[in-house]
Amino acid sequence: MSKFIPNSFQVPNAVVDELMSVLSGAEFKCYMLVVRQTTGWNKQKDAVSISQMMEKCNLSNRGVIDACDKLVEMGLLTKSKGYRGMNVFSVNFDKIPTCEVSSPVNSAHTQNTTKQNNNTKNNTLTGVNACEKKSETLMLLEQFGITEQLAKDFIVHRKSFKAPITETALKGFQREADKAKIPIQQAIVISIERGWRGFNAGWDWQNDGVSAKNPQNPSARNTSKPFIPDDEGNWAEGMSITLRGS
């Protein structure tokens, strides 16, 4: 009998059958928290702070660090650095079968299941890697609160400039948005609508005129005023000048 349970998440049977006996209590707690934070929200990766792990797992700072390092060493978790140095974790379910070798619980059924899982893994590995690589940009944007259609539009926009979407570039958008006292999402929208490669708080981003649309084109600014070259000293020759009040 199979019934969906609201507010729940799934883990492979091997997590209990194989991993629980080889992981310490701290390691198992941290592992399950990362599984909850990722698959529980239908995400491949999630930024989990040490303080959050300490609170959720009732562990010390050193206990969390040691447990996570061990899980990464075993290949069960992948760790990278996200925005402002926060740890970003993902779960490697493909690594679970490798733990069965050292496990005392090893039935014929488990061996057959492992063999099938390995075959499936080999057949789909390329697709999984391609999917993860393809979504790295979206996950990076998500860390800055840029999601859904805005994220897709921004990717297309940056491609038109042949400009990559990097953490450094997004930090630049965030810095200038903070200076302008607007959300980074609004700064992204403005850059897309006006065809700007980036965003600068010093640009006339609140103006809908020509200068706002071409912030890096000096010749497009102040079009209502005549442009007089500095090197032409005789520009007033032949003009009549009336002084009022004299």
Report yes or no: 136 and 165 within 8 Å, Cβ to Cβ: no
Residues 44 and 73 in one domain: yes
Q: Vertex 91, ends 88 and 93: CA angle to 5°?
A: 165
Residues 208 and 152 in one domain: yes
Domain holding 62: CATH number? 1.10.10.10
Residues 113 and 161 in one domain: no
Instruction: Say if 4 falls within a structural domain.
Output: no
Instruction: Say if 129 falls within a structural domain.
Output: yes
**Domain enclosing residue 214, as ranges:** 148-220
Predicted TM-score (pTM) of this structure = 0.39
Instruction: Say if 189 falls within a structural domain.
Output: yes
Count: domains in the chain: 2
Range with top average pLDDT, 41-50, 99-108, 143-152: 143-152
CB-based burial of residue 14 (10 Å sphere; 0-12 exposed, 13-18 middle, 19+ buried)? buried
Going by pLDDT thresholds of 50, 70 and 90, the confidence category of residue 120 is very low
Q: Vertex 92, ends 164 and 138: CA angle to 5°?
A: 25
Instruction: Say if 96 falls within a structural domain.
Output: yes
Residues 131 and 152 in one domain: no
Instruction: Say if 69 falls within a structural domain.
Output: yes
pLDDT the model gives residue 29: 92
